[in-house]
Structure 1
Amino acid sequence: MKISKEVKTGILVVSGIVLFIFGFNYLKGKNLFVSTDVYYTEFDYNALNKSSPITVNGNVVGKIQDIIYDYQTGKTRVSFSVNAALKFSKNSVVKMYETGLMGGNGLAILINNEGKQAKPGDILPSEVELGLVTTLTKNFSGLSDNLDSTLKSTDTLMLSINRLINDNSDAGLKRTMEELNHTLKSFKKTSNSVNAVISNNDKNISEILAKFKTISADLAVLTTDLKDANVGTTVENLNNTLNKLNTILVTIDKGDGTLGKLLKEEGLYNNLEGATKEMEELLRDIKLHPKRYFRILSKKEIPYQKEETK
Protein backbone atom coordinates (compact mmCIF):
# COMPACT_ATOMS: atom_id res chain seq x y z
CA MET A 1 0.00 0.00 0.00
CA LYS A 2 1.49 3.29 -1.10
CA ILE A 3 1.19 6.39 1.07
CA SER A 4 0.57 9.58 -0.78
CA LYS A 5 2.83 12.56 -0.45
CA GLU A 6 0.07 14.58 1.22
CA VAL A 7 -0.24 12.03 4.07
CA LYS A 8 3.51 11.91 4.57
CA THR A 9 3.63 15.70 4.69
CA GLY A 10 0.80 15.79 7.28
CA ILE A 11 2.57 13.21 9.47
CA LEU A 12 5.79 15.19 9.36
CA VAL A 13 4.00 18.44 10.27
CA VAL A 14 2.16 16.83 13.22
CA SER A 15 5.36 15.16 14.42
CA GLY A 16 7.19 18.47 14.25
CA ILE A 17 4.47 20.22 16.26
CA VAL A 18 4.54 17.47 18.92
CA LEU A 19 8.33 17.59 19.18
CA PHE A 20 8.21 21.40 19.41
CA ILE A 21 5.68 21.30 22.27
CA PHE A 22 7.62 18.58 24.11
CA GLY A 23 10.96 20.37 23.69
CA PHE A 24 9.52 23.72 24.79
CA ASN A 25 8.04 22.23 27.95
CA TYR A 26 11.22 20.26 28.64
CA LEU A 27 13.25 23.48 28.49
CA LYS A 28 10.78 25.01 30.97
CA GLY A 29 11.36 22.08 33.31
CA LYS A 30 8.08 20.26 32.61
CA ASN A 31 7.88 16.58 31.82
CA LEU A 32 4.73 15.73 29.85
CA PHE A 33 5.08 12.04 30.72
CA VAL A 34 4.95 12.62 34.51
CA SER A 35 1.66 13.49 36.22
CA THR A 36 1.92 16.56 38.50
CA ASP A 37 -0.38 18.42 40.91
CA VAL A 38 -0.41 22.20 41.40
CA TYR A 39 -0.65 23.81 44.85
CA TYR A 40 -0.44 27.40 46.12
CA THR A 41 1.08 29.27 49.02
CA GLU A 42 1.52 32.95 50.00
CA PHE A 43 4.34 35.08 51.46
CA ASP A 44 4.54 38.68 52.70
CA TYR A 45 7.35 39.41 50.21
CA ASN A 46 8.97 37.77 47.21
CA ALA A 47 12.47 36.30 47.36
CA LEU A 48 11.93 33.52 44.80
CA ASN A 49 12.21 32.94 41.08
CA LYS A 50 10.77 30.33 38.75
CA SER A 51 13.96 28.28 38.89
CA SER A 52 13.76 27.88 42.68
CA PRO A 53 13.46 24.19 43.64
CA ILE A 54 10.66 22.51 45.59
CA THR A 55 12.15 19.95 48.01
CA VAL A 56 11.06 17.37 50.57
CA ASN A 57 13.78 16.32 53.02
CA GLY A 58 16.38 17.78 50.64
CA ASN A 59 15.04 15.95 47.55
CA VAL A 60 13.73 17.93 44.57
CA VAL A 61 10.10 16.97 43.93
CA GLY A 62 8.82 19.84 41.80
CA LYS A 63 9.24 23.36 40.41
CA ILE A 64 7.66 26.79 40.76
CA GLN A 65 5.04 27.43 38.08
CA ASP A 66 4.19 31.10 38.63
CA ILE A 67 4.76 34.02 41.03
CA ILE A 68 2.16 36.77 41.11
CA TYR A 69 1.30 39.70 43.35
CA ASP A 70 -2.18 39.65 44.85
CA TYR A 71 -3.47 43.24 44.81
CA GLN A 72 -6.32 42.46 47.20
CA THR A 73 -4.29 40.88 50.01
CA GLY A 74 -0.92 42.53 49.28
CA LYS A 75 0.84 39.17 49.39
CA THR A 76 2.90 37.22 46.92
CA ARG A 77 1.13 34.09 45.69
CA VAL A 78 3.33 31.24 44.50
CA SER A 79 2.00 28.31 42.51
CA PHE A 80 4.15 25.19 42.32
CA SER A 81 3.81 21.70 40.90
CA VAL A 82 4.92 18.46 42.53
CA ASN A 83 4.80 14.83 41.52
CA ALA A 84 1.26 13.46 41.84
CA ALA A 85 2.60 10.53 43.88
CA LEU A 86 3.46 12.93 46.72
CA LYS A 87 0.66 12.93 49.31
CA PHE A 88 0.32 15.20 52.36
CA SER A 89 -2.37 16.90 54.45
CA LYS A 90 -3.57 20.48 54.44
CA ASN A 91 -1.62 21.03 57.69
CA SER A 92 1.69 20.67 55.84
CA VAL A 93 3.78 23.86 55.80
CA VAL A 94 5.70 25.34 52.87
CA LYS A 95 8.93 26.88 54.19
CA MET A 96 11.07 29.37 52.28
CA TYR A 97 14.78 28.94 53.06
CA GLU A 98 18.19 30.01 51.78
CA THR A 99 19.82 27.40 49.57
CA GLY A 100 23.38 28.69 50.09
CA LEU A 101 25.67 31.44 51.36
CA MET A 102 25.86 33.02 47.89
CA GLY A 103 22.11 33.68 47.82
CA GLY A 104 19.16 31.95 46.28
CA ASN A 105 16.06 30.61 47.96
CA GLY A 106 13.94 27.50 47.68
CA LEU A 107 10.74 26.03 49.04
CA ALA A 108 10.65 23.01 51.32
CA ILE A 109 7.43 21.12 52.04
CA LEU A 110 7.25 20.04 55.69
CA ILE A 111 5.14 16.91 55.33
CA ASN A 112 2.33 16.47 57.85
CA ASN A 113 -0.08 13.55 57.39
CA GLU A 114 -2.51 14.56 60.16
CA GLY A 115 -5.83 16.02 59.06
CA LYS A 116 -7.52 16.08 55.67
CA GLN A 117 -5.45 15.26 52.62
CA ALA A 118 -4.50 18.22 50.46
CA LYS A 119 -6.01 18.38 46.99
CA PRO A 120 -4.59 20.08 43.89
CA GLY A 121 -5.42 23.78 44.01
CA ASP A 122 -5.31 24.08 47.82
CA ILE A 123 -3.49 26.97 49.48
CA LEU A 124 -0.95 25.68 52.00
CA PRO A 125 0.33 27.67 55.03
CA SER A 126 3.84 29.10 54.78
CA GLU A 127 6.74 30.24 56.94
CA VAL A 128 10.13 31.86 56.37
CA GLU A 129 13.33 30.40 57.83
CA LEU A 130 16.07 32.86 58.75
CA GLY A 131 19.19 32.13 56.77
CA LEU A 132 22.70 31.74 58.10
CA VAL A 133 23.81 35.20 56.99
CA THR A 134 20.74 36.89 58.51
CA THR A 135 21.16 35.00 61.78
CA LEU A 136 24.85 35.87 62.02
CA THR A 137 24.06 39.52 61.28
CA LYS A 138 21.51 39.65 64.10
CA ASN A 139 23.83 37.83 66.50
CA PHE A 140 26.74 40.15 65.69
CA SER A 141 24.43 43.13 66.16
CA GLY A 142 23.44 41.93 69.64
CA LEU A 143 27.04 41.06 70.46
CA SER A 144 28.14 44.52 69.42
CA ASP A 145 25.57 46.14 71.70
CA ASN A 146 26.61 43.96 74.64
CA LEU A 147 30.29 44.62 73.98
CA ASP A 148 29.66 48.37 73.87
CA SER A 149 27.82 48.22 77.22
CA THR A 150 30.62 46.15 78.75
CA LEU A 151 33.29 48.60 77.55
CA LYS A 152 31.36 51.51 79.05
CA SER A 153 31.10 49.72 82.42
CA THR A 154 34.81 48.88 82.32
CA ASP A 155 35.68 52.49 81.53
CA THR A 156 33.63 53.73 84.51
CA LEU A 157 35.33 51.18 86.81
CA MET A 158 38.81 52.19 85.64
CA LEU A 159 38.00 55.87 86.21
CA SER A 160 36.88 55.11 89.77
CA ILE A 161 40.06 53.09 90.48
CA ASN A 162 42.23 55.80 88.95
CA ARG A 163 40.51 58.44 91.07
CA LEU A 164 41.10 56.34 94.19
CA ILE A 165 44.78 55.74 93.41
CA ASN A 166 45.47 59.36 92.45
CA ASP A 167 44.02 60.71 95.72
CA ASN A 168 47.26 62.39 96.87
CA SER A 169 45.62 64.65 99.42
CA ASP A 170 46.68 64.50 103.05
CA ALA A 171 43.22 63.39 104.14
CA GLY A 172 43.21 60.46 101.68
CA LEU A 173 46.66 59.22 102.69
CA LYS A 174 45.87 59.64 106.38
CA ARG A 175 42.63 57.68 106.03
CA THR A 176 44.43 54.89 104.15
CA MET A 177 47.16 54.60 106.76
CA GLU A 178 44.63 54.52 109.62
CA GLU A 179 42.67 51.69 107.97
CA LEU A 180 45.88 49.75 107.28
CA ASN A 181 47.03 50.24 110.89
CA HIS A 182 43.65 49.09 112.21
CA THR A 183 43.81 45.96 110.05
CA LEU A 184 47.31 45.09 111.29
CA LYS A 185 46.24 45.56 114.92
CA SER A 186 43.26 43.24 114.44
CA PHE A 187 45.44 40.61 112.84
CA LYS A 188 48.00 40.87 115.68
CA LYS A 189 45.28 40.54 118.32
CA THR A 190 43.88 37.43 116.60
CA SER A 191 47.35 35.89 116.35
CA ASN A 192 48.01 36.50 120.06
CA SER A 193 44.67 34.90 120.98
CA VAL A 194 45.47 31.80 118.96
CA ASN A 195 48.92 31.52 120.51
CA ALA A 196 47.44 31.87 124.02
CA VAL A 197 44.90 29.11 123.35
CA ILE A 198 47.62 26.78 122.08
CA SER A 199 49.93 27.55 125.05
CA ASN A 200 47.21 26.99 127.66
CA ASN A 201 46.13 23.71 126.13
CA ASP A 202 49.51 22.36 125.19
CA LYS A 203 49.24 19.50 127.70
CA ASN A 204 45.71 18.59 126.59
CA ILE A 205 46.72 18.62 122.97
CA SER A 206 49.67 16.31 123.74
CA GLU A 207 47.38 13.89 125.59
CA ILE A 208 44.86 13.91 122.74
CA LEU A 209 47.59 13.15 120.21
CA ALA A 210 48.95 10.33 122.43
CA LYS A 211 45.47 8.79 122.79
CA PHE A 212 44.90 9.07 119.08
CA LYS A 213 48.18 7.28 118.45
CA THR A 214 47.18 4.49 120.88
CA ILE A 215 43.76 4.13 119.23
CA SER A 216 45.40 3.93 115.81
CA ALA A 217 47.73 1.15 117.04
CA ASP A 218 44.78 -0.78 118.55
CA LEU A 219 42.84 -0.46 115.31
CA ALA A 220 45.84 -1.79 113.39
CA VAL A 221 46.08 -4.81 115.73
CA LEU A 222 42.32 -5.45 115.47
CA THR A 223 42.49 -5.29 111.68
CA THR A 224 45.37 -7.80 111.67
CA ASP A 225 43.46 -10.17 114.01
CA LEU A 226 40.37 -10.02 111.83
CA LYS A 227 42.47 -10.70 108.78
CA ASP A 228 44.17 -13.71 110.44
CA ALA A 229 40.85 -15.05 111.75
CA ASN A 230 39.81 -15.79 108.19
CA VAL A 231 36.36 -14.29 108.69
CA GLY A 232 35.56 -14.80 105.02
CA THR A 233 35.87 -18.62 105.32
CA THR A 234 33.71 -18.64 108.48
CA VAL A 235 30.99 -16.62 106.79
CA GLU A 236 31.16 -18.89 103.74
CA ASN A 237 30.81 -22.05 105.92
CA LEU A 238 27.87 -20.47 107.74
CA ASN A 239 26.26 -19.63 104.42
CA ASN A 240 26.71 -23.24 103.20
CA THR A 241 25.16 -24.56 106.44
CA LEU A 242 22.18 -22.26 106.07
CA ASN A 243 21.75 -23.38 102.45
CA LYS A 244 21.75 -27.06 103.50
CA LEU A 245 19.26 -26.34 106.31
CA ASN A 246 17.05 -24.50 103.86
CA THR A 247 17.22 -27.51 101.48
CA ILE A 248 16.17 -29.86 104.32
CA LEU A 249 13.26 -27.61 105.27
CA VAL A 250 12.13 -27.44 101.64
CA THR A 251 12.28 -31.25 101.40
CA ILE A 252 10.22 -31.62 104.60
CA ASP A 253 7.74 -29.03 103.33
CA LYS A 254 7.30 -30.97 100.07
CA GLY A 255 6.57 -34.16 102.08
CA ASP A 256 9.68 -36.05 101.00
CA GLY A 257 11.46 -38.38 103.43
CA THR A 258 10.21 -39.97 106.63
CA LEU A 259 9.85 -36.74 108.58
CA GLY A 260 8.15 -35.03 105.66
CA LYS A 261 5.68 -37.87 105.19
CA LEU A 262 5.01 -37.93 108.92
CA LEU A 263 4.15 -34.22 108.83
CA LYS A 264 2.29 -34.19 105.53
CA GLU A 265 0.46 -37.57 105.22
CA GLU A 266 -2.65 -37.65 107.40
CA GLY A 267 -3.11 -41.42 106.94
CA LEU A 268 0.27 -42.20 108.47
CA TYR A 269 -0.55 -39.96 111.40
CA ASN A 270 -3.90 -41.72 111.93
CA ASN A 271 -2.22 -45.16 111.77
CA LEU A 272 0.35 -44.11 114.35
CA GLU A 273 -2.37 -42.72 116.59
CA GLY A 274 -4.37 -45.99 116.29
CA ALA A 275 -1.29 -48.11 117.01
CA THR A 276 -0.58 -45.96 120.06
CA LYS A 277 -4.09 -46.48 121.37
CA GLU A 278 -3.90 -50.29 120.82
CA MET A 279 -0.51 -50.37 122.57
CA GLU A 280 -2.02 -48.47 125.48
CA GLU A 281 -4.94 -50.95 125.71
CA LEU A 282 -2.49 -53.88 125.58
CA LEU A 283 -0.40 -52.51 128.40
CA ARG A 284 -3.51 -51.84 130.46
CA ASP A 285 -4.76 -55.42 129.87
CA ILE A 286 -1.37 -56.88 130.83
CA LYS A 287 -1.49 -54.87 134.03
CA LEU A 288 -5.02 -56.06 134.88
CA HIS A 289 -4.68 -59.70 133.72
CA PRO A 290 -1.04 -60.70 133.89
CA LYS A 291 -1.95 -64.42 134.02
CA ARG A 292 -3.43 -64.15 130.55
CA TYR A 293 -0.03 -63.38 129.07
CA PHE A 294 2.26 -65.33 131.36
CA ARG A 295 1.29 -69.06 131.04
CA ILE A 296 3.80 -70.00 133.66
CA LEU A 297 1.61 -68.44 136.35
CA SER A 298 -1.59 -70.14 135.24
CA LYS A 299 -2.12 -73.25 133.20
CA LYS A 300 -5.62 -72.24 132.33
CA GLU A 301 -5.92 -69.87 129.40
CA ILE A 302 -7.96 -66.84 130.19
CA PRO A 303 -9.78 -65.54 127.10
CA TYR A 304 -9.44 -61.88 126.20
CA GLN A 305 -12.33 -59.66 127.22
CA LYS A 306 -12.54 -56.06 126.24
CA GLU A 307 -12.59 -53.81 129.24
CA GLU A 308 -15.85 -52.08 129.79
CA THR A 309 -15.70 -48.31 129.66
CA LYS A 310 -16.66 -46.80 132.98
Structure 2
Amino acid sequence: MSKELKTGIIVVLIVVTFVWGFNFLKGHDLLDGKARKFQVEYSKIGGLNRASSVTLNGLKVGQVNEIEFNTTPEKRGELIVTFSVENDFQFSRKSVVRIYSPNPLAASSLAIIPSYEGEMAVSGDTLEGKIEESLFTSIGERLDPLQDKLEKVIVRADTLFSGVNRILNDETIDGVNGSISNIAAIIADLRETVRKVNLLVVDNQDNLKVTLQNTKNITGNLSKISDSLTTVNINNIVKKAENAVDNFNNLSEKMNSNSGSIGKLINDEELYRNIEAATKELEELLRDLKLNPKRYVHFSLFGKKPKEYSPAENQLQELKELKEQIEELKQ
Protein backbone atom coordinates (compact mmCIF):
# COMPACT_ATOMS: atom_id res chain seq x y z
CA MET A 1 0.00 0.00 0.00
CA SER A 2 1.21 3.41 -0.87
CA LYS A 3 1.82 6.08 1.69
CA GLU A 4 -1.09 8.15 0.36
CA LEU A 5 -3.54 5.25 0.86
CA LYS A 6 -2.29 4.58 4.35
CA THR A 7 -2.59 8.29 5.18
CA GLY A 8 -6.18 8.40 3.80
CA ILE A 9 -7.22 5.32 5.80
CA ILE A 10 -5.75 6.75 9.00
CA VAL A 11 -7.54 10.13 8.42
CA VAL A 12 -10.87 8.35 7.82
CA LEU A 13 -10.45 6.26 10.97
CA ILE A 14 -9.60 9.39 12.96
CA VAL A 15 -12.68 11.21 11.65
CA VAL A 16 -14.97 8.22 12.32
CA THR A 17 -13.52 7.81 15.80
CA PHE A 18 -13.92 11.53 16.49
CA VAL A 19 -17.54 11.53 15.29
CA TRP A 20 -18.37 8.40 17.27
CA GLY A 21 -16.64 9.68 20.38
CA PHE A 22 -18.30 13.07 20.10
CA ASN A 23 -21.75 11.50 19.75
CA PHE A 24 -20.98 9.03 22.49
CA LEU A 25 -20.07 11.89 24.80
CA LYS A 26 -23.35 13.53 23.82
CA GLY A 27 -25.19 10.32 24.62
CA HIS A 28 -25.60 8.96 21.10
CA ASP A 29 -24.34 5.45 20.53
CA LEU A 30 -24.03 5.20 16.75
CA LEU A 31 -23.19 1.52 16.95
CA ASP A 32 -26.31 0.57 18.87
CA GLY A 33 -29.24 0.22 16.49
CA LYS A 34 -31.69 -1.02 19.17
CA ALA A 35 -31.99 2.34 20.98
CA ARG A 36 -35.56 3.74 21.18
CA LYS A 37 -36.16 7.46 21.35
CA PHE A 38 -38.96 9.16 23.31
CA GLN A 39 -39.97 12.75 23.98
CA VAL A 40 -41.23 14.49 27.09
CA GLU A 41 -42.51 18.05 27.56
CA TYR A 42 -41.69 20.12 30.64
CA SER A 43 -42.31 23.69 31.71
CA LYS A 44 -38.92 23.64 33.46
CA ILE A 45 -36.19 21.05 33.64
CA GLY A 46 -34.55 21.88 36.99
CA GLY A 47 -30.89 21.33 36.08
CA LEU A 48 -31.41 18.56 33.51
CA ASN A 49 -28.85 18.62 30.67
CA ARG A 50 -27.70 16.60 27.73
CA ALA A 51 -26.13 13.27 28.58
CA SER A 52 -28.12 13.10 31.84
CA SER A 53 -28.87 9.50 32.69
CA VAL A 54 -32.26 7.82 32.28
CA THR A 55 -33.14 5.15 34.81
CA LEU A 56 -35.86 2.53 35.01
CA ASN A 57 -36.54 1.15 38.49
CA GLY A 58 -33.11 2.50 39.49
CA LEU A 59 -31.24 0.87 36.55
CA LYS A 60 -29.63 3.13 33.94
CA VAL A 61 -31.26 2.33 30.59
CA GLY A 62 -30.44 5.40 28.54
CA GLN A 63 -29.54 9.06 28.47
CA VAL A 64 -30.83 12.48 27.39
CA ASN A 65 -30.09 13.32 23.74
CA GLU A 66 -31.66 16.71 23.04
CA ILE A 67 -33.28 19.61 24.93
CA GLU A 68 -35.01 22.22 22.80
CA PHE A 69 -37.82 24.78 23.02
CA ASN A 70 -41.31 24.05 21.78
CA THR A 71 -42.04 26.23 18.74
CA THR A 72 -45.82 25.85 18.71
CA PRO A 73 -47.63 29.10 19.65
CA GLU A 74 -49.87 27.55 22.33
CA LYS A 75 -46.89 25.91 24.10
CA ARG A 76 -44.27 28.54 23.49
CA GLY A 77 -41.55 28.59 26.12
CA GLU A 78 -41.95 24.96 27.16
CA LEU A 79 -39.09 22.50 26.72
CA ILE A 80 -39.03 19.24 24.76
CA VAL A 81 -36.61 16.64 26.08
CA THR A 82 -35.58 13.78 23.76
CA PHE A 83 -34.01 10.75 25.40
CA SER A 84 -33.02 7.30 24.22
CA VAL A 85 -33.62 3.95 25.89
CA GLU A 86 -31.11 1.28 25.00
CA ASN A 87 -32.81 -1.47 26.98
CA ASP A 88 -35.56 -3.50 25.30
CA PHE A 89 -37.72 -3.48 28.48
CA GLN A 90 -41.33 -2.79 27.47
CA PHE A 91 -43.63 -0.24 29.13
CA SER A 92 -46.88 1.40 28.03
CA ARG A 93 -47.61 4.89 26.80
CA LYS A 94 -49.18 5.72 30.20
CA SER A 95 -45.77 5.60 31.83
CA VAL A 96 -44.51 8.80 33.46
CA VAL A 97 -41.04 10.29 33.04
CA ARG A 98 -40.04 12.23 36.12
CA ILE A 99 -37.14 14.64 36.60
CA TYR A 100 -35.41 14.03 39.91
CA SER A 101 -32.11 14.87 41.59
CA PRO A 102 -30.14 11.89 43.00
CA ASN A 103 -28.39 14.18 45.53
CA PRO A 104 -28.27 17.91 46.19
CA LEU A 105 -24.88 18.30 44.47
CA ALA A 106 -25.54 16.19 41.34
CA ALA A 107 -27.32 17.19 38.14
CA SER A 108 -30.90 16.11 37.56
CA SER A 109 -31.78 12.84 35.86
CA LEU A 110 -34.81 11.20 34.29
CA ALA A 111 -36.62 8.32 35.90
CA ILE A 112 -39.20 6.27 33.99
CA ILE A 113 -42.08 5.20 36.18
CA PRO A 114 -43.39 2.30 34.10
CA SER A 115 -47.02 1.47 33.56
CA TYR A 116 -48.21 -1.68 31.86
CA GLU A 117 -51.78 -0.71 31.02
CA GLY A 118 -52.78 0.05 27.47
CA GLU A 119 -50.60 0.04 24.38
CA MET A 120 -46.87 -0.44 24.69
CA ALA A 121 -44.68 2.59 23.97
CA VAL A 122 -42.69 2.60 20.72
CA SER A 123 -39.84 4.77 19.54
CA GLY A 124 -41.00 8.31 18.79
CA ASP A 125 -43.88 8.42 21.33
CA THR A 126 -44.35 11.39 23.65
CA LEU A 127 -44.70 10.42 27.31
CA GLU A 128 -46.12 12.33 30.25
CA GLY A 129 -43.56 14.29 32.25
CA LYS A 130 -43.45 15.31 35.89
CA ILE A 131 -40.95 17.14 38.05
CA GLU A 132 -39.88 15.99 41.48
CA GLU A 133 -38.80 18.99 43.48
CA SER A 134 -35.33 18.75 44.93
CA LEU A 135 -34.61 19.09 48.60
CA PHE A 136 -33.38 22.65 48.30
CA THR A 137 -36.27 23.65 46.05
CA SER A 138 -38.81 22.15 48.43
CA ILE A 139 -37.15 23.80 51.40
CA GLY A 140 -37.00 27.09 49.50
CA GLU A 141 -40.68 26.95 48.58
CA ARG A 142 -41.59 26.28 52.21
CA LEU A 143 -39.23 28.92 53.51
CA ASP A 144 -40.55 31.66 51.23
CA PRO A 145 -43.85 32.21 53.11
CA LEU A 146 -42.01 31.71 56.37
CA GLN A 147 -39.54 34.38 55.32
CA ASP A 148 -42.37 36.81 54.54
CA LYS A 149 -43.95 36.17 57.92
CA LEU A 150 -40.58 36.47 59.63
CA GLU A 151 -39.96 39.82 57.94
CA LYS A 152 -43.36 41.09 59.12
CA VAL A 153 -42.62 39.86 62.65
CA ILE A 154 -39.23 41.59 62.59
CA VAL A 155 -40.81 44.84 61.41
CA ARG A 156 -43.45 44.65 64.16
CA ALA A 157 -40.82 43.75 66.75
CA ASP A 158 -38.72 46.72 65.64
CA THR A 159 -41.75 49.01 65.98
CA LEU A 160 -42.51 47.52 69.40
CA PHE A 161 -38.95 47.95 70.61
CA SER A 162 -38.92 51.53 69.33
CA GLY A 163 -42.08 52.25 71.32
CA VAL A 164 -40.62 50.54 74.38
CA ASN A 165 -37.46 52.60 74.06
CA ARG A 166 -39.54 55.78 73.87
CA ILE A 167 -41.49 54.76 76.95
CA LEU A 168 -38.60 53.43 79.01
CA ASN A 169 -36.70 56.67 79.39
CA ASP A 170 -34.69 57.55 82.48
CA GLU A 171 -37.67 59.10 84.25
CA THR A 172 -39.84 56.06 83.63
CA ILE A 173 -37.11 53.68 84.76
CA ASP A 174 -36.68 55.69 87.98
CA GLY A 175 -40.46 55.55 88.51
CA VAL A 176 -40.52 51.78 87.95
CA ASN A 177 -37.63 51.31 90.36
CA GLY A 178 -39.43 53.45 92.94
CA SER A 179 -42.62 51.45 92.48
CA ILE A 180 -40.73 48.19 92.93
CA SER A 181 -39.16 49.56 96.11
CA ASN A 182 -42.59 50.60 97.40
CA ILE A 183 -43.99 47.15 96.61
CA ALA A 184 -41.13 45.55 98.48
CA ALA A 185 -41.82 47.81 101.48
CA ILE A 186 -45.53 46.97 101.36
CA ILE A 187 -44.74 43.25 101.27
CA ALA A 188 -42.46 43.68 104.27
CA ASP A 189 -45.23 45.55 106.15
CA LEU A 190 -47.71 42.80 105.29
CA ARG A 191 -45.32 40.18 106.60
CA GLU A 192 -44.90 42.12 109.84
CA THR A 193 -48.67 42.53 110.15
CA VAL A 194 -49.24 38.81 109.61
CA ARG A 195 -46.60 38.04 112.20
CA LYS A 196 -48.28 40.34 114.74
CA VAL A 197 -51.68 38.85 113.99
CA ASN A 198 -50.28 35.37 114.54
CA LEU A 199 -48.80 36.47 117.86
CA LEU A 200 -52.11 38.07 118.84
CA VAL A 201 -53.99 34.89 118.01
CA VAL A 202 -51.55 32.78 119.98
CA ASP A 203 -51.70 35.12 123.00
CA ASN A 204 -55.52 35.29 122.99
CA GLN A 205 -56.18 31.70 122.11
CA ASP A 206 -57.91 31.00 125.43
CA ASN A 207 -60.05 34.13 125.13
CA LEU A 208 -61.02 33.16 121.62
CA LYS A 209 -62.07 29.74 122.83
CA VAL A 210 -64.20 31.32 125.55
CA THR A 211 -65.71 33.76 123.05
CA LEU A 212 -66.54 30.96 120.67
CA GLN A 213 -68.09 28.95 123.50
CA ASN A 214 -70.20 31.97 124.53
CA THR A 215 -71.26 32.46 120.96
CA LYS A 216 -72.26 28.83 120.83
CA ASN A 217 -74.29 29.21 124.03
CA ILE A 218 -76.00 32.34 122.71
CA THR A 219 -76.87 30.51 119.53
CA GLY A 220 -78.32 27.65 121.57
CA ASN A 221 -80.38 30.07 123.67
CA LEU A 222 -81.68 31.80 120.57
CA SER A 223 -82.63 28.42 119.17
CA LYS A 224 -84.51 27.60 122.37
CA ILE A 225 -86.27 30.98 122.26
CA SER A 226 -87.29 30.40 118.66
CA ASP A 227 -88.56 26.93 119.61
CA SER A 228 -90.57 28.40 122.49
CA LEU A 229 -91.98 31.09 120.24
CA THR A 230 -93.27 28.42 117.92
CA THR A 231 -95.32 26.95 120.80
CA VAL A 232 -97.02 30.31 121.58
CA ASN A 233 -100.53 30.70 120.19
CA ILE A 234 -99.90 33.42 117.65
CA ASN A 235 -103.57 33.51 116.67
CA ASN A 236 -104.64 34.66 120.13
CA ILE A 237 -102.01 37.40 120.12
CA VAL A 238 -103.15 38.55 116.71
CA LYS A 239 -106.81 38.56 117.81
CA LYS A 240 -106.00 40.59 120.91
CA ALA A 241 -104.04 43.05 118.82
CA GLU A 242 -106.95 43.35 116.41
CA ASN A 243 -109.38 43.95 119.32
CA ALA A 244 -107.07 46.64 120.71
CA VAL A 245 -106.93 48.33 117.31
CA ASP A 246 -110.72 48.12 117.01
CA ASN A 247 -111.16 49.67 120.45
CA PHE A 248 -108.78 52.46 119.60
CA ASN A 249 -110.65 53.08 116.34
CA ASN A 250 -113.99 53.23 118.23
CA LEU A 251 -112.51 55.66 120.75
CA SER A 252 -111.15 57.78 117.93
CA GLU A 253 -114.54 57.81 116.19
CA LYS A 254 -116.30 58.85 119.41
CA MET A 255 -113.77 61.60 120.02
CA ASN A 256 -114.27 62.90 116.48
CA SER A 257 -118.10 62.72 116.78
CA ASN A 258 -120.35 65.10 118.80
CA SER A 259 -121.66 62.31 121.02
CA GLY A 260 -120.28 62.07 124.53
CA SER A 261 -118.71 64.68 126.76
CA ILE A 262 -115.17 64.35 125.30
CA GLY A 263 -116.45 64.59 121.73
CA LYS A 264 -118.59 67.62 122.58
CA LEU A 265 -115.71 69.20 124.45
CA ILE A 266 -113.38 68.74 121.47
CA ASN A 267 -115.75 69.41 118.58
CA ASP A 268 -118.52 71.70 120.03
CA GLU A 269 -117.41 75.30 119.44
CA GLU A 270 -120.31 76.73 121.41
CA LEU A 271 -119.28 74.80 124.52
CA TYR A 272 -115.74 76.05 124.01
CA ARG A 273 -117.01 79.66 123.82
CA ASN A 274 -119.11 79.22 127.00
CA ILE A 275 -116.12 77.82 128.88
CA GLU A 276 -113.94 80.64 127.61
CA ALA A 277 -116.61 83.25 128.69
CA ALA A 278 -116.91 81.63 132.15
CA THR A 279 -113.15 81.74 132.46
CA LYS A 280 -113.10 85.43 131.68
CA GLU A 281 -115.87 86.14 134.19
CA LEU A 282 -114.01 84.13 136.80
CA GLU A 283 -110.83 86.12 136.13
CA GLU A 284 -112.75 89.38 136.51
CA LEU A 285 -114.26 88.11 139.75
CA LEU A 286 -110.88 87.17 141.14
CA ARG A 287 -109.43 90.48 140.03
CA ASP A 288 -112.27 92.35 141.79
CA LEU A 289 -111.77 90.15 144.85
CA LYS A 290 -108.14 91.17 145.02
CA LEU A 291 -108.94 94.85 144.54
CA ASN A 292 -111.93 94.97 146.89
CA PRO A 293 -111.59 92.16 149.41
CA LYS A 294 -113.85 93.93 151.98
CA ARG A 295 -116.80 93.36 149.74
CA TYR A 296 -116.49 89.61 150.21
CA VAL A 297 -114.45 89.04 153.47
CA HIS A 298 -114.71 90.92 156.85
CA PHE A 299 -111.99 90.46 159.50
CA SER A 300 -110.41 92.47 162.41
CA LEU A 301 -106.98 92.25 163.94
CA PHE A 302 -107.78 93.64 167.43
CA GLY A 303 -110.50 93.04 169.92
CA LYS A 304 -112.89 91.15 167.74
CA LYS A 305 -113.44 87.53 167.27
CA PRO A 306 -112.60 86.13 163.92
CA LYS A 307 -115.60 85.46 161.93
CA GLU A 308 -116.50 82.00 161.07
CA TYR A 309 -115.93 80.63 157.62
CA SER A 310 -118.30 82.49 155.41
CA PRO A 311 -120.11 81.23 152.33
CA ALA A 312 -118.21 83.81 150.27
CA GLU A 313 -114.91 82.19 151.04
CA ASN A 314 -116.34 78.82 150.19
CA GLN A 315 -117.62 80.26 146.93
CA LEU A 316 -114.24 81.77 146.21
CA GLN A 317 -112.52 78.44 146.75
CA GLU A 318 -114.98 76.73 144.45
CA LEU A 319 -114.37 79.38 141.80
CA LYS A 320 -110.64 78.77 141.99
CA GLU A 321 -111.09 75.02 141.57
CA LEU A 322 -113.48 75.62 138.67
CA LYS A 323 -110.95 77.87 137.01
CA GLU A 324 -108.24 75.20 137.31
CA GLN A 325 -110.55 72.60 135.82
CA ILE A 326 -111.40 74.91 132.92
CA GLU A 327 -107.71 75.55 132.28
CA GLU A 328 -107.07 71.79 132.20
CA LEU A 329 -109.94 71.31 129.76
CA LYS A 330 -108.65 74.09 127.54
CA GLN A 331 -105.22 72.44 127.47
- TM bucket (normalised to shorter chain) is 0.3 to 0.5
- TM-score normalised by L of structure 1: 0.42
- TM-score normalised by L of structure 2: 0.40
Q: Answer with 1 or 2: which has the greater Rg.
A: 2
